[in-house]
Every structure is written in C-alpha cells, then in structure tokens.
Amino acid sequence: MEPSVTDIWLWHVQLLIPKLFDFSAILSAPHHAEEKTQWEHPKTGKRKRIAGDLPYGWEQETDENGQVFFVDHINKRTTYLDPRLAFTVDDNPTKPTSRQRYDGSTTAMEILQGRDFTGKVVVVTGANSGIGFETAKSFALHGAHVILACRNMTRANEAVSQILGEWHKAKVEAMTLDLSLLRSVQHFAQAFKAKNLSLHVLVCNAAAFALPWSLTKDGLETTFQVNHLGHFYLVQLLQDVLCRSAPARVVVVSSESHRFTDINDSSGKLDFSRLSPPKNDYWAMLAYNRSKLCNILFSNELHRRLSPRGVTSNAVHPGNMMYSSIHRNWWVYTLLFTLARPFTKSMQQGAATTVYCAAAPELEGLGGMYFNNCCRCMPSPEAQSEDTARALWALSERLIQEGAGSQSG
C-alpha cells in the first residue's frame, strides 16, 4: 500500500528539530503511544530510534488514562511526543553528509539542544551581558553549574536572577572578578578553589573596547590587561583545577580585528611598547586589535602546553558588528551599528561559536584552532606564529611576577 502524504509528512516532522515542539500539539495522542521508541519512514523503510536520557528540564509523567506524556519545565509545555525523537540515531545509517552542521545563523541554545550538562562546571568571564550572558544562560538552562565571573556584581546578580526567572532550578551564581586588577584575579581564583569544584569549561569572554588611555593599578595599559593579561593570569591560577577536571576546555573570545595589526617590531621580535603603549602612542582601536591578536596566540600556546594533560583551548570570533555593552564607550561604533543592524547577529547567534567550541563532541581533544560561525578558519599569519606565541607567554609570565611582587611588597 502506497503511503499517504500525511504519513510521509509526519515522518519529516520529527527531523525538523527547531520546529519539533511547534507541531506536537496537532499530532494525536494515540499516535504518540504507538511510536514511543522508533520511527520508520513509510516509503524508504529507514528507521530511527530514540537514544539517551531526556533533555535537561524535561520529565516523563503518566496521565489518568495511563498514557505517557512529557513536561518541558523550562518552556512550560506539555506534549505526548517524546522530545528525544528530535535526537534520534539511525538504525541503518548511510554515508554521513559533508554539509556544515552549524553556521552563522545558529544559536547557542540550538547547539546545546538535547544535551544535559548536569555535573559540569562552567565559568564565563564578563557574563552579565551580551554574548557572555547568552553563553552562561545557555549552559545553565542545560544543567551545568555556571559561575558568572564579573566586575560589576549588581549587574551580575541581575543576570543571575534573569536566568533563574527562566528556569528556577538552574544552578547559577555570580562571583567578583576584575581583570584590570591582578589582586582581584588572585582573589577570584582563591574563592573558586575554596568551593572544591571541578572546572570543565572556562570561557575567557570579558573584554574592554574603545577605552580612552589609562593605566591599571598594576601599571599596564587597561585594554591589554583586561583583554589579555587578566585572562592569562586567571588560567595560570586555575590550570591545576582544569587539569584535574580533564577533559576540560578553554575558549578564548577573540575577533576578526586581530588581522589588522602586528605586535612585533621591524626585526620580528615582540614589542612590549605596542602592547602597553604610552599615552602619546595610543589609539583605542589599535589597542583592541592587538589584544585580540594576543588572545589567539595565548590560546594556541595554552593548547600546546596543556593538551597533553587533557585541557584543550580554542579561540573564536563571535560575529560581525554585534552591538553589546563593551561598545558603549565609542559613539562611532554605536552609529555604525544602528546603520548595519538589519545585517547583524543576535546575542544568541553571537554566543553560538563560543558554545560550539565549549561543548561540541566532535571537538573533544582538539584545540589550537580558530573558529568563526562554528567553523574552523585560518587566523592571520601573525596569529599562527609559534615564536610570537612563546614570546608573549614569557612576557606575560614576567609581567605577572612583577605585578604580584609589587602587590606583596
């Protein structure tokens, strides 16, 4: 008997993951009861079966007629359709497709859909707004214990409340971290270690952009310290926890703007005066670009050093022309964003590449790479230099030692 159009349509419904639950209300309960664990295409005979536990936030219950139904506590929905049908596996798989699974329109929540990160600990710096917040929220709504490491605790606590408003059982908290102050980084690391937690994902997301020239209390140009040295020190202090928690991942948020600068002098050696310039040589955009180049060099060298111990690191570009709170210091960027807004990413889309590198199973054990739109791409030749990466690492260690020494003196 030839299958009807309705039969074929129903089979395709369960393959359309983003729309799955939109269709669930119009599918009949008896059909759900009959198709609990397996779908079979009515024409090709291709079979798919359910695998794994229910996604985070879902519970299975039984109605008064003895039929099983499912409750989505996060989105407050009920359906007789098993949500695991969105993540079925082939019983008779064919040759896998070579098409890229995710792209620039993918959201962080879509990447984590169906995953349960209960028992995993995630730290996100600068997580009170923008892509840092969306990264933290996405992991928290999928079961992870998420720590928002932020300078402004008022905004951080508001972000925690917002996440808890979406899912009251989310395990999320805020801790103070000011990357412009080495002592604050020390205090954060000490406070985190006192919790006796593992650390499976560390997202170095916080950044300063378009700041007027200033020196931190540690005597360094602020953009350089916040965007690079503070994160470098944080990873140094937490690397023992990362290694003990392995497999663990570090994700460093960089930018395509790293391509428009260099941090070496004319002889090819690392030039500290370019990283932390005096006031008369300072240009805010150039300082930002150089710090983003440092991010990739740091991530690559970190991977080379810690991957033998089970800790991988990748750098990411979140997206083009995304407006967030880090741009409030530069009115020109605000104007550009207003004009370009129809072509920009949402914050959820901006967080997707970070979340992909932090969670994708296919990246387990892989690092030292640079990603854009959830796809690996090659950074600038300067960012690929192992010599420059090693020189930056040595310089960063010396600056940390000098800064820590001056604080204790």
Dig out the tokens for 94 from the structure: 């064919």
Burial environment of residue 127 by CB neighbours within 10 A (0 to 12, 13 to 18, 19 or more): buried
Relative to beta strand 375-377, strand 369-372 is antiparallel
- Max CA distance (Å), the chain: 86
Q: Are 84 and 12 in contact (CB under 8 A)?
A: no
Burial environment of residue 62 by CB neighbours within 10 A (0 to 12, 13 to 18, 19 or more): exposed
Residue 400: half-sphere exposure toward Cβ, Cα within 13 Å: 20
- Please report where in the chains the tokens 């707004």 appear, as a residue: 129
Residue 245's alpha-carbon distances to 115, 170, 196, 303, 315, in angstroms, are: 19, 21, 11, 16, 20
Q: How many helices (DSSP H) and strands (DSSP E) are in the chain?
A: 15, 14
CA 47 to mean position of chain CA atoms: 34
- Please report where in the chains the tokens 């990447």 appear, as a residue: 111
Candidates 314, 383, 316; CA nearest to 350 is 316
- Residue 213 is given by DSSP the state S
Catalytic residue among 56, 80, 233, 288: 288
Q: Are 197 and 119 in contact (CB under 8 A)?
A: no
Residues contacting residue 193 through CB under 8 Å, at least 6 positions apart: 238, 241
- Please report where in the chains the tokens 């099983």 appear, as a residue: 68
CA distance 274 to 382: 14
Total count of residues recorded for the chain: 409
| Identity of the amino acid at 272 | F
CA distance 211 to 208: 7
Tell me whether residue 370 is one of the annotated catalytic residues: no
60's enclosing H/E stretch is strand 58-62
Q: Catalytic residue positions?
A: 288
